[in-house]
Every structure is written in C-alpha cells, then in structure tokens.
Copies of this chain bind each other. A is one copy, B any other.
Amino acid sequence: MTNALNVDRTADVPVPPGPAKADRVSRRQVDKFAQRRDQLAAAALQTLAELGYARTSLREIAQNTDFSHGVLHYYFADKVDLIIHCVKHYKAICVQRYDEILAASDTADALAEGFAAGLARTAGEDATLHRLWYDMRSQSMFEPAFRADVLEIDDSLQRMIWRVVTGYAELSGRALTVAPATAYAMFDGLFQHALLRHLSGAPDALDTLRAESLTLLPRLTRD
C-alpha cells in the first residue's frame, strides 16, 4: 500500500493479458475484459456506498461478488486503480440520472419545479451513492491520486447545473448574474446539507432542499 500510490497510472487498462491476434478475436476479448471490469466496479461501488472509503477492503468488495478476492488484482492494477474506475462508473450513473431530470420543460416555472423535485428525489433515492461522492471528494483533498478524476466529475456536474441555470434564464427572459462555478457551488452546498440531514433522520430534509432550490434559481438572475 505504501508505494502503490506511485504506480504509473497513465494507462487505463493494465494490459488485457494476452490477445494480440486476429482483430475480431482481440476485440471480443478486450470487450469481455472491460465488461467484467465494469461488473466488478459496480460491485465495488455498492460496497463503497455502504461502508465508505475508509472502511472498504478488497475482500469485502469481493464478497459482494460471485468471485474471490484474488480476481480483483487480475482486473485492476491495485486498489487505487479499482476505486478510480469505480468513481468514473459513478459519474456515468450520476450524469445519466441528472439528464433525466433535465426532461424538457417549456416554462421557467416548470423547469424550476422539475429540477428542484429531481434534486430532492435523487438525494433520497441515491443517498448512499451521493455520500460516497462527498467522501471521495474529501479524500481527493488528501490523496492527489484521486484529484484529477474528482475534478473531472465535478466539472461535469457543474456543466449540468449550468445547463439548467441557463435554460431557466432563457425561459424566464432574465439575465444571469453568476459564473458557472458559483452556481454549482451553491446548489452543491444545499444538496450536501440536505443529504447529511436526511441521512441523520431529519424527515423534512428533502422537502427543504426542494424549496431552497426553488428559491435559488431566481436569485441567480435579474430582469
């Protein structure tokens, strides 16, 4: 574990063991390899969401799987490699769900209501996944190995928020008064606050999040 962090992580896949033959064959093997990688990453994501980064071990991950713990080192170079793959997997899930939230609305009010409700819904339904995201983002403040991927996900979330905010501004005919990073930080603050309360058992946390988000959108614009 000590020098594992110094491993060269430029290559995404740690060499699919031995194809290099006919094109079709190679391609199929690589696909299969990547497929199992994703499958294992999904199991790891579930374990991480349940236990958090500090308490998750490779053996624990393998137990949420039909395989034994050794197989993880067949598909991933080391623990950091696995977790990074995991977090990218999270991004795919997350952006997808947020894009569902972005279902076309034709009025500013409808967009605002839909977006606020969507935030509250995902905060409730995917609470464990989101707390993992905040855990990983905190880890990245200590562990440079996670930083690049965390910042990339953060950017994609920021762009998602920005699409909503600009959409709202256009539909309402108002002008934007904040930068994309600022808008994202504010919504993220509300979301994180609500998530902690929700996980702590506060029954009104999600409703409050919806109401707060609703009032934030107009605050970012002016006539």
Binding site for B on A (CB under 8 A): 51-55, 131, 134-135, 137-143, 147, 150-151, 154, 177-179, 181-182, 184-190, 192-196, 199-200, 208, 212, 215-216, 219-220
Task: Tell me the smallest distance from the CB of A190 to a CB of chain B, in Å.
Answer: 5
Tell me which of B138, B147, B190 contacts A186 (CB under 8 A): B190
Q: Which chain B positions have C-beta within 8 A of A150?
A: 196
CB atoms of B189 and A142 under 8 A apart:
no
Cβ contacts A to B, 30 pairs, < 8 Å? A52-B138, A52-B141, A52-B142, A52-B143, A131-B141, A131-B142, A134-B137, A134-B141, A135-B139, A137-B196, A138-B138, A141-B196, A141-B199, A151-B196, A154-B196, A177-B215, A178-B212, A182-B212, A185-B193, A185-B212, A186-B186, A186-B189, A186-B190, A186-B216, A187-B189, A188-B189, A189-B189, A189-B190, A189-B192, A219-B219
Task: Tell me the smallest distance from the CB of A169 to a CB of chain B, in Å.
Answer: 15
CB atoms of B178 and A185 under 8 A apart:
no
Number of copies: 2
Q: Which chain B positions have C-beta within 8 A of A195?
A: 141
Q: Which residue of B lies closest to A151 (CB)?
A: B200
Q: Which chain B positions have C-beta within 8 A of A141?
A: 52, 131, 134-135, 195-196, 199
4 interchain residue pairs of minimum CB distance: A189-B189, A52-B142, A54-B54, A185-B193
Task: Tell me the smallest distance from the CB of A69 to a CB of chain B, in Å.
Answer: 19
